[in-house]
Amino acid sequence: MRIEKTDFEGLLRIFPEVHRDDRGLFAELWQAARYEDLWPELSFVQDNFSVSKKGTLRGLHFQKKHPQGKLITVLEGEIFDVALDLRPSSKTFGRVYTVSLSADDLSQVYIPEGMAHGFLTLSPVARVFYRCTDFYYPDDEAGILFSDANLGIRWPEVGELTVSEKDRRAQTFFEWRQSVGL
Protein backbone atom coordinates (compact mmCIF):
# COMPACT_ATOMS: atom_id res chain seq x y z
CA MET A 1 0.00 0.00 0.00
CA ARG A 2 1.34 3.42 -0.99
CA ILE A 3 0.20 6.78 0.38
CA GLU A 4 0.83 10.09 -1.35
CA LYS A 5 0.42 13.48 0.29
CA THR A 6 -0.96 16.35 -1.76
CA ASP A 7 -0.70 20.14 -1.64
CA PHE A 8 -3.88 20.07 0.48
CA GLU A 9 -3.25 19.53 4.20
CA GLY A 10 -4.62 16.12 5.23
CA LEU A 11 -5.84 15.19 1.74
CA LEU A 12 -4.19 11.94 0.72
CA ARG A 13 -4.09 9.57 -2.19
CA ILE A 14 -3.94 5.92 -1.17
CA PHE A 15 -3.04 2.98 -3.41
CA PRO A 16 -4.03 -0.30 -1.71
CA GLU A 17 -2.13 -3.43 -2.68
CA VAL A 18 -4.34 -5.40 -5.08
CA HIS A 19 -3.69 -9.17 -5.03
CA ARG A 20 -4.73 -10.64 -8.37
CA ASP A 21 -4.93 -14.30 -9.34
CA ASP A 22 -6.88 -16.49 -11.73
CA ARG A 23 -9.99 -16.14 -9.47
CA GLY A 24 -10.00 -12.36 -9.52
CA LEU A 25 -8.60 -10.02 -6.87
CA PHE A 26 -8.36 -9.20 -3.15
CA ALA A 27 -7.53 -5.88 -1.51
CA GLU A 28 -7.61 -4.45 2.00
CA LEU A 29 -9.47 -1.14 1.64
CA TRP A 30 -8.82 -0.05 5.21
CA GLN A 31 -6.53 -1.41 7.94
CA ALA A 32 -6.38 0.84 10.99
CA ALA A 33 -3.01 -0.35 12.35
CA ARG A 34 -1.34 0.41 9.03
CA TYR A 35 -2.51 4.01 9.13
CA GLU A 36 -1.87 4.55 12.83
CA ASP A 37 1.22 6.69 12.39
CA LEU A 38 -0.49 8.74 9.71
CA TRP A 39 -3.89 9.17 11.33
CA PRO A 40 -3.59 8.14 15.00
CA GLU A 41 -6.93 9.74 15.87
CA LEU A 42 -8.80 8.77 12.70
CA SER A 43 -11.92 6.66 13.12
CA PHE A 44 -14.87 6.00 10.83
CA VAL A 45 -18.40 5.89 12.19
CA GLN A 46 -20.48 5.58 9.00
CA ASP A 47 -20.07 3.84 5.67
CA ASN A 48 -21.89 5.19 2.60
CA PHE A 49 -22.55 3.61 -0.77
CA SER A 50 -23.98 5.24 -3.88
CA VAL A 51 -24.64 4.03 -7.40
CA SER A 52 -24.72 6.54 -10.24
CA LYS A 53 -25.26 6.37 -13.97
CA LYS A 54 -22.95 8.19 -16.38
CA GLY A 55 -23.30 11.96 -16.19
CA THR A 56 -24.60 11.95 -12.61
CA LEU A 57 -23.00 14.77 -10.65
CA ARG A 58 -23.36 14.77 -6.86
CA GLY A 59 -22.14 17.69 -4.78
CA LEU A 60 -20.45 19.82 -3.71
CA HIS A 61 -21.61 18.90 -0.21
CA PHE A 62 -20.38 19.45 3.34
CA GLN A 63 -21.72 19.47 6.89
CA LYS A 64 -21.28 22.74 8.79
CA LYS A 65 -21.07 21.80 12.47
CA HIS A 66 -20.35 18.09 11.92
CA PRO A 67 -17.73 18.00 9.15
CA GLN A 68 -16.98 14.56 7.74
CA GLY A 69 -13.65 13.20 6.64
CA LYS A 70 -14.24 10.72 3.77
CA LEU A 71 -12.20 7.77 2.55
CA ILE A 72 -13.51 7.20 -0.97
CA THR A 73 -13.19 4.03 -3.02
CA VAL A 74 -14.76 3.33 -6.41
CA LEU A 75 -15.87 -0.31 -6.48
CA GLU A 76 -17.12 -0.22 -10.08
CA GLY A 77 -16.54 2.27 -12.87
CA GLU A 78 -14.83 5.65 -12.72
CA ILE A 79 -15.56 9.08 -11.24
CA PHE A 80 -14.04 12.54 -11.43
CA ASP A 81 -13.74 13.42 -7.77
CA VAL A 82 -13.64 17.00 -6.48
CA ALA A 83 -12.84 18.52 -3.09
CA LEU A 84 -13.10 22.24 -2.28
CA ASP A 85 -11.10 23.53 0.68
CA LEU A 86 -13.42 25.44 3.04
CA ARG A 87 -10.93 25.69 5.91
CA PRO A 88 -10.28 29.43 6.47
CA SER A 89 -6.85 28.81 8.02
CA SER A 90 -5.75 26.51 5.21
CA LYS A 91 -3.12 27.71 2.72
CA THR A 92 -5.29 26.09 0.04
CA PHE A 93 -8.53 27.76 1.21
CA GLY A 94 -10.86 28.19 -1.77
CA ARG A 95 -8.79 25.89 -3.97
CA VAL A 96 -10.13 22.74 -5.58
CA TYR A 97 -8.48 19.32 -5.68
CA THR A 98 -9.57 16.98 -8.46
CA VAL A 99 -8.70 13.37 -9.23
CA SER A 100 -10.13 10.55 -11.31
CA LEU A 101 -10.79 7.43 -9.23
CA SER A 102 -11.33 4.06 -10.86
CA ALA A 103 -12.21 0.55 -9.74
CA ASP A 104 -9.40 -0.61 -12.04
CA ASP A 105 -6.77 0.01 -9.35
CA LEU A 106 -9.09 0.67 -6.35
CA SER A 107 -7.04 3.73 -5.59
CA GLN A 108 -8.57 5.96 -2.93
CA VAL A 109 -8.65 9.54 -1.81
CA TYR A 110 -9.03 10.66 1.80
CA ILE A 111 -10.75 14.03 1.98
CA PRO A 112 -10.27 15.63 5.41
CA GLU A 113 -12.96 17.35 7.45
CA GLY A 114 -13.60 20.91 6.32
CA MET A 115 -13.82 20.27 2.59
CA ALA A 116 -16.85 20.18 0.29
CA HIS A 117 -17.02 17.01 -1.79
CA GLY A 118 -18.58 15.98 -5.05
CA PHE A 119 -18.05 13.80 -8.08
CA LEU A 120 -19.05 13.32 -11.69
CA THR A 121 -19.71 9.82 -13.00
CA LEU A 122 -17.58 9.04 -16.04
CA SER A 123 -18.42 5.36 -16.63
CA PRO A 124 -21.83 3.84 -17.52
CA VAL A 125 -22.22 3.04 -13.81
CA ALA A 126 -20.15 4.08 -10.78
CA ARG A 127 -20.47 2.32 -7.44
CA VAL A 128 -18.85 4.50 -4.80
CA PHE A 129 -18.14 3.36 -1.24
CA TYR A 130 -16.94 5.86 1.32
CA ARG A 131 -16.19 5.78 5.02
CA CYS A 132 -17.04 8.89 7.07
CA THR A 133 -15.55 10.26 10.29
CA ASP A 134 -18.89 11.64 11.50
CA PHE A 135 -22.56 10.81 11.14
CA TYR A 136 -25.02 12.23 8.65
CA TYR A 137 -26.85 15.24 10.01
CA PRO A 138 -29.35 16.24 7.30
CA ASP A 139 -30.15 19.57 8.98
CA ASP A 140 -26.45 20.37 9.07
CA GLU A 141 -25.88 19.74 5.36
CA ALA A 142 -24.90 22.51 2.94
CA GLY A 143 -23.70 22.78 -0.62
CA ILE A 144 -21.61 24.85 -3.01
CA LEU A 145 -22.67 25.19 -6.65
CA PHE A 146 -20.73 22.69 -8.75
CA SER A 147 -20.78 25.01 -11.78
CA ASP A 148 -19.55 28.11 -9.92
CA ALA A 149 -17.23 29.61 -12.55
CA ASN A 150 -15.06 31.19 -9.84
CA LEU A 151 -14.01 27.75 -8.63
CA GLY A 152 -12.57 26.92 -12.05
CA ILE A 153 -13.53 23.23 -11.87
CA ARG A 154 -12.88 21.71 -15.28
CA TRP A 155 -15.51 18.97 -15.22
CA PRO A 156 -14.87 16.39 -17.97
CA GLU A 157 -17.29 16.46 -20.88
CA VAL A 158 -19.66 13.49 -20.51
CA GLY A 159 -22.74 14.71 -22.33
CA GLU A 160 -26.02 15.24 -20.46
CA LEU A 161 -25.69 15.86 -16.71
CA THR A 162 -28.02 14.43 -14.08
CA VAL A 163 -28.00 16.70 -11.03
CA SER A 164 -30.45 16.91 -8.10
CA GLU A 165 -32.59 20.01 -7.77
CA LYS A 166 -30.91 20.63 -4.42
CA ASP A 167 -27.49 20.72 -6.09
CA ARG A 168 -28.66 22.91 -8.97
CA ARG A 169 -29.88 25.48 -6.43
CA ALA A 170 -26.74 25.49 -4.27
CA GLN A 171 -25.04 28.76 -3.26
CA THR A 172 -21.86 29.95 -4.93
CA PHE A 173 -18.58 29.93 -3.05
CA PHE A 174 -18.77 33.73 -2.75
CA GLU A 175 -22.30 33.56 -1.33
CA TRP A 176 -21.13 30.97 1.20
CA ARG A 177 -18.19 33.17 2.23
CA GLN A 178 -20.54 36.10 2.71
CA SER A 179 -22.92 33.94 4.77
CA VAL A 180 -20.15 32.94 7.18
CA GLY A 181 -18.40 36.33 7.22
CA LEU A 182 -15.22 35.24 5.45
Ligand X SMILES: Cc1cn([C@H]2C[C@H](O)[C@@H](COP(=O)(O)OP(=O)(O)O[C@H]3O[C@H](C)C(=O)[C@H](O)[C@H]3O)O2)c(=O)[nH]c1=O
Interface contacts to ligand X, rule CB under 6 A: 48, 50, 58-59, 61, 70, 117-119, 136, 164
Distance from C-alpha of 170 to C-alpha of 144, rounded to nearest angstrom: 5
Contact 167, 59 (CB under 8 A): yes
C-alpha angle 118/129/21, rounded to 5°? 130
Question: Is the Cβ of residue 62 or residue 107 nearer to ligand X in the bound state?
Answer: 62
Question: Is the Cβ of residue 63 or residue 107 nearer to ligand X in the bound state?
Answer: 63
CB of 46 to ligand X, least distance (A): 7
Name the residue among 25, 35, 50 with its Cα closest to residue 3: 35
Question: Is the Cβ of residue 18 or residue 103 nearer to ligand X in the bound state?
Answer: 103
C-alpha angle 75/133/14, rounded to 5°? 45
| Catalytic choice (19, 35, 61, 137) | 61
CB of 130 to ligand X, least distance (A): 7
CB of 110 to ligand X, least distance (A): 13
Is 130 assigned a catalytic role? yes
Question: Is the Cβ of residue 22 or residue 160 nearer to ligand X in the bound state?
Answer: 160
CB of 70 to ligand X, least distance (A): 6
Is 61 assigned a catalytic role? yes
Q: Which residues are catalytic?
A: 61, 130
